[in-house]
Amino acid sequence: MANMRYKLLGKSGLRVSELCLGTMTFGETWGWGASRDESRAQFDLFADYGGNFIDTSVNYTDGTAEEFVGEFLHGRRDHFVVATKYTLTKRDSPDPNSGGNSRKNMRQSVERSLRRLQTDYLDILYLHMWDHFTPLEEIMRGLDDLVRSGKVNYIAVSDTPAYIVSAANMLSELRGWARFIGLQIPYSLNGRTPERELLPVAKYWDMALLPWGIIGGGVLTGKYTEESSEPSRYNREETAERVRQREQTLRIIEEVRLIAEEVGRSRAQVAIQWVRQQGDKAQIIPILGARTVAQLEDNLGVLDWSLTDEQLQRLDDASAISMDFPHGFLDGNPYVYGATFDLIDDHRGRRR
């Protein structure tokens, strides 16, 4: 069993394991998750490996995930760093204030999460998703009030445009409020568009990046392009057809397969390892989301090996995206930097 290492989470003194356990699969309410016993086994396995960072949400499996985590934390709550989220609700909720980023839903969601998790504080509270309606001042002041009350230790943000994340942190800096220390987004070999804006904003604000969907919903393991009896979250036929229509995705899947054979590791490990080794772009702590103990144990196998520079380059080449405007326009532009200006690293590590 490899040793788990620990990192300070973003601009904070909070020490978290280098991998985070995601719990969206805890509970069978949505039709594709894990039972209570299977979820407990995953939780205990993660803890046995030294993992202390748990990610959940008020809406995961309609509350079952938080209830399971609350049970599993019994007698050892303080050892774990527990992060949950507010914003989302049931699609058929008749209450217009049961979802969104408002202070009302924020407070109601936090109280609900505290009851389910059987705790009197949350280590981290995420804004789960930008709702395009709630004023930013209302959100950040509401989150700061929760921190000052002692119900929340730190705040973070998920699935939100980069300009909102930056504005929120600047507002908090100016007002002396709590600011975001983490940014949770989907990021994988077949989903690299966050490199255009979201990864740079995380690095600029010294926020930890917590990527989910790191094996592309199973796509990168060949789950939808090869024969498989494994249960699927997505419609197998529709997903397989979409994958077949994307030439680059097929190239990525093939490169992952070849490297997995070279190193004697699973394809999932190769895909996860590529994400882990993007640390030059931001501080990265991947979120593992497994349906079974066997899957989680395989995912945890990334702790004791690394991809070579040559293998990383092959995966980079297969998955490359256009950085588009303004990056392509600005990078190395002699009218900005001067034709004879040498490229140097500034104090933030950015190339100039």
pLDDT tens column, 145-200:
999 999 999 999 999 999 999 999 999 999 999 999 999 999 999 999 999 999 99
Contact 32, 233 (CB under 8 A): yes
Residue that has been written with the tokens 């395009």 in this structure: 132
Q: Could you count the other beta carbons within 10 Å of the beta carbon of residue 19?
A: 23
Biggest CA-to-CA distance, the chain: 64
Residue type, 223: K
Of 78-82, 85-89, 221-225, minimum mean pLDDT range? 221-225
Q: Could you count the other beta carbons within 10 Å of the beta carbon of residue 229?
A: 4
- Rounded Cα distance between 339 and 346, Å, is 18
More confidently predicted of 352 and 132: 132
Question: Which residues are identified as catalytic?
Answer: 60
CATH classification number, 6-321, choose in 3.10.20.90, 3.20.20.100, 3.30.365.10, 3.40.190.10: 3.20.20.100
Q: At what angle do helices 136-149 and 103-117 cross, to 10 degrees?
A: 40
Q: Residue 352: its pLDDT value, please?
A: 43
Backbone angles phi, psi at 153, to 5 degrees: -90, -45
Backbone angles phi, psi at 198, to 5 degrees: -75, -40
Tokens linked to 72: 């599993």
- How many residues are listed for the chain in this entry? 352
Q: Residue 341: its pLDDT value, please?
A: 55
- Establish whether the linkage from the previous residue to 326 is cis, with ω within 30° of 0: yes
Q: Residue 122: its pLDDT value, please?
A: 98
C-alpha distance from residue 113 to each of 9, 26, 117 (Å): 22, 15, 6
How remote is the C-alpha of 308 from its chain's centroid?
24
User: Nearest 5 degrees, angle CA 210-CA 211-CA 212?
Assistant: 125
Tokens linked to 235: 């419609």
Q: In which element (H, E) is residue 300 found?
A: helix 293-300
- Rounded Cα distance between 305 and 236, Å, is 32
- Rounded Cα distance between 52 and 175, Å, is 32
Residue that has been written with the tokens 């990078």 in this structure: 331
- Rounded Cα distance between 115 and 99, Å, is 18
Q: Which of 110, 27, 101 is closest to 62 using CA atoms?
A: 27
Residue pLDDT, tens place only, 290-303: 999 999 999 999 99
Q: What pTM, to 2 d.p., does this model score?
A: 0.91
Residues 6+ apart with CB under 8 A from 28: 34, 35, 61, 64
- Give the mean pLDDT of the chain: 92
Q: Residue 232: its pLDDT value, please?
A: 61
Q: Which of 122, 66, 129 is closest to 101 using CA atoms?
A: 129
